[in-house]
Structure 1
Amino acid sequence: MEASSTLTTVFLPVALAIVMFGLGLHLTVADFTRVAKVPKAALLALVTQIVVLPLVCLGLVLVFDLDPLLAVGMMLLAASPGGTTANIFSHLAGGDVALNITLTAINSVLAVVTLPIVVNLSIAGFLGSDTSIGLQPAKMLQVFAIVLIPVVLGMAVRKRWPDFADRMTKPVKIASMVVLAAVIIGAIVAERENFVDYMRQVGLVSLLLVLISLGLGYWIPRLARVERKQAIASSFEVGIHNSTLAITIALSPTLLDNGTMAVPAAVYGVIMFIPAAILAYWVGGRSREPASQS
């Protein structure tokens, strides 16, 4: 895909802004401070998502010996925060959606720092330290802008016009899903000549990443005696990543500007729905644990 194309220069930034603005419409300052009420659940989920998951992804990338550009794309995906899709699946499964919102809010802020670190280390490791591709300080500011500014604007709208924000909940969810589908299709079209080969290379890795992420997100908190509803929330928050953000960073002419790096997020964006939907259906259909159980 050419860097000057309409997809990368216009549609992607606007699409991501819509998704992140919609996320902001659901957030309040209380969502950031709520972590004090459930510190163990939040901390375990964040550590799993920020530290454990990139290490798991690195292991998968090395085991499957991925092409270096695809390897960086996988690491970019693993470093991306959760999003509204995780909240939806958590709701369907009977998870603690308030915790999901809190985790999404905090991790979206932390990702401004953690995502560039993971990406730059991955580029140095897989492509060589002399490569010119990367998220330098100026580009990190752009990540800050595309991630946080729309979120802050959405929060401001919610604070000023809460009724409007509530009315926009359903339309924004629909718009976010449409945007996600459009971004995935756009990334696939951009690499259409090689996509079948890329799917063969990263399809299984993406599926394993989803399954392992969902499992770790649930069992690490449960082994630490976190309540089941919070563990469910953690599972989907850790397991479902913001592939729209990953694709945007990969394709953006001012950031990574590399179509191949966007492929893992596009493949993942399609594959993740299957195990996530099955898990949500299975967990949601089970009887809730008695209140006396942790």
Structure 2
Amino acid sequence: MITQAALPMALAFIMFAMGLTMNPGDFRLIFSHPKAMAAGLAAKLTLVPLAGLAVVLVWRPEADFAVGMILLAACPAGVTSALLTHMAGGRIALAATITALTSLAATLSVPLLVNLGLAAFAGYDRAVEIPVGKMTLGIFLVDTVPLVIGLALQRFWPLAAGRLGKVARPVATLLFALIVVGAFFSQRQALVDHVGDVVPAALVLNLLAMAGAWAVGSALRLDMADRIAVVMENGLQNSALGIFVAVTLLGNHAMMVPSIVYAFVMNLTAIAFIWAVKRRGGLIYSGR
């Protein structure tokens, strides 16, 4: 119960800290030049589900894991994507906007794709009602509301926001590190039990999503800040939603395993991506 309460609070604080680093002009810029937002949304709503389907068809895991992988690929962007985008030097406002919009789209995409997965891989002959609206509201409260509060402070009380931000940003980074470590320890048994059948598939899905998003950003000639945000939004899934739907709504613990495994894998690849981006920036800056 403590963990269930502490995790949303930690994520909300992270988003609040991100809001302190932004201003409303960041969002006006995104909507006045919507190419990057459209690219991120198109990739998230089409590329990632198609990559999930491809992985299932090629890997051919057992039925419950196959449905769990389709469920995972249907989920919106993860709440921590804005923080990781910030750490990589990407456009936070773009990441936050894509997270919010894909969370709204999840009310349609998750039930549709999960029921297709259940029919195709688990032999279900009737649709399962998946009321993800409540979960989407929870995402909104954890993600968007704290961000707006941080933005309001930055807009109306910039000096106070600046002083608070000097403390909030390091705390947010520490909280993220604790979330990753906690995820590892809570998921270590699942990683051990399914290292051969789910971990490689989850890693391939993650790499396909990130590489595909990078290719889309390159093809559309997005600037580096936008491209980083699009890659992070496509590589990071809301695994908590996948776990919630699998266990609470579908009553199938095996179907949550891909989401559990992916939660660990995606953070490792995101950290590796941040390192690569920072290293590339350092090499460019040094003239090498």
- Pairwise same-fold verdict (TM > 0.5): yes
The yes-or-no answer on 1:21 pairing with 2:12 is yes
The yes-or-no answer on 1:93 pairing with 2:82 is no
| Contact kept in structure 2, 1:12 and 1:183, CA below 8 Å | no
**Higher share of residues assigned helix:** 2
2:32 and 2:182 map into 1 onto residues whose CA distance is 38
Please report how far the alpha carbon of residue 36 of structure 1 lies from its aligned counterpart in structure 2 after TM superposition. 1.3
Deviation by residue 1:169-228 (Cα, 9 ceiling, x = unmatched):
543554355345445644555xx5xx6442211111111111111111111121122222
The yes-or-no answer on 1:283 pairing with 2:277 is yes
| Contact kept in structure 1, 2:15 and 2:82, CA below 8 Å | no
Q: Give the alignment partner of residue 223 of structure 2, picking from 222, 227, 239.
A: 227
Please report how far the alpha carbon of residue 41 of structure 1 lies from its aligned counterpart in structure 2 after TM superposition. 0.8
2:152 and 2:211 map into 1 onto residues whose CA distance is 39
Please report how far the alpha carbon of residue 243 of structure 1 lies from its aligned counterpart in structure 2 after TM superposition. 2.1
2:2 and 2:196 map into 1 onto residues whose CA distance is 28
The TM-score, its normalising length taken from structure 2, stands at 0.78
Q: Give the alignment partner of residue 263 of structure 1, picking from 257, 261, 264.
A: 257
Find the counterpart in structure 2 of residue 3 from structure 1: none
Please report how far the alpha carbon of residue 152 of structure 1 lies from its aligned counterpart in structure 2 after TM superposition. 5.3
| Contact kept in structure 2, 1:20 and 1:147, CA below 8 Å | no
After the TM superposition, which residues 9-158 of structure 1 pair with which residues of structure 2 at under 5 Å, given as runs?
Answer: 10=1, 13-15=4-6, 17-18=8-9, 21-22=12-13, 25=16, 26=18, 30=24, 35-130=30-125, 134-136=128-130, 139-151=131-143, 153-155=145-147, 157-158=149-150
| Contact kept in structure 2, 1:92 and 1:284, CA below 8 Å | no
Deviation by residue 1:125-167 (Cα, 9 ceiling, x = unmatched):
22223368x443xx23332333234445535644776658845
1:43 and 1:289 map into 2 onto residues whose CA distance is 31
| Contact kept in structure 2, 1:16 and 1:244, CA below 8 Å | no
1:185 and 1:107 map into 2 onto residues whose CA distance is 29
| Contact kept in structure 2, 1:68 and 1:126, CA below 8 Å | yes
Give the SS at the match of 1:270: helix
2:5 and 2:213 map into 1 onto residues whose CA distance is 31
Give the SS at the match of 1:199: coil
- Unmatched segments (≥5 aa) in structure 1: 1-9
Q: Give the alignment partner of residue 214 of structure 2, picking from 215, 218, 230.
A: 218
Identity, % of aligned positions: 26
| Contact kept in structure 2, 1:108 and 1:147, CA below 8 Å | yes
Distance change in 2, residues 1:93/1:155 (3 Å): closer
Give the SS at the match of 2:262: helix
Find the counterpart in structure 2 of residue 4 from structure 1: none
Please report how far the alpha carbon of residue 118 of structure 1 lies from its aligned counterpart in structure 2 after TM superposition. 1.9
Give the SS at the match of 1:200: coil
Distance change in 2, residues 1:232/1:153 (3 Å): closer
Distance change in 2, residues 1:228/1:201 (3 Å): same
Give the SS at the match of 1:95: coil
Distance change in 2, residues 1:236/1:204 (3 Å): same
What's the Cα RMSD here?
3.2
Please report how far the alpha carbon of residue 101 of structure 1 lies from its aligned counterpart in structure 2 after TM superposition. 2.0
1:173 and 1:234 map into 2 onto residues whose CA distance is 21
**Deviation larger for 179-188 or 196-205:** 179-188
2:3 and 2:116 map into 1 onto residues whose CA distance is 25
**Deviation larger for 212-221 or 26-35:** 26-35
The TM-score, its normalising length taken from structure 1, stands at 0.77
1:86 and 1:153 map into 2 onto residues whose CA distance is 16
Amino acid at match of 2:36: A
Q: How many pairs were matched up?
A: 272
| Contact kept in structure 2, 1:79 and 1:114, CA below 8 Å | yes
Please report how far the alpha carbon of residue 32 of structure 1 lies from its aligned counterpart in structure 2 after TM superposition. 6.3
| Contact kept in structure 2, 1:45 and 1:238, CA below 8 Å | yes
Please report how far the alpha carbon of residue 83 of structure 1 lies from its aligned counterpart in structure 2 after TM superposition. 2.8
Find the counterpart in structure 1 of residue 239 from structure 2: 243
Amino acid at match of 2:140: L
Please report how far the alpha carbon of residue 49 of structure 1 lies from its aligned counterpart in structure 2 after TM superposition. 0.7
Please report how far the alpha carbon of residue 15 of structure 1 lies from its aligned counterpart in structure 2 after TM superposition. 5.0
2:126 and 2:182 map into 1 onto residues whose CA distance is 31
Amino acid at match of 2:252: N
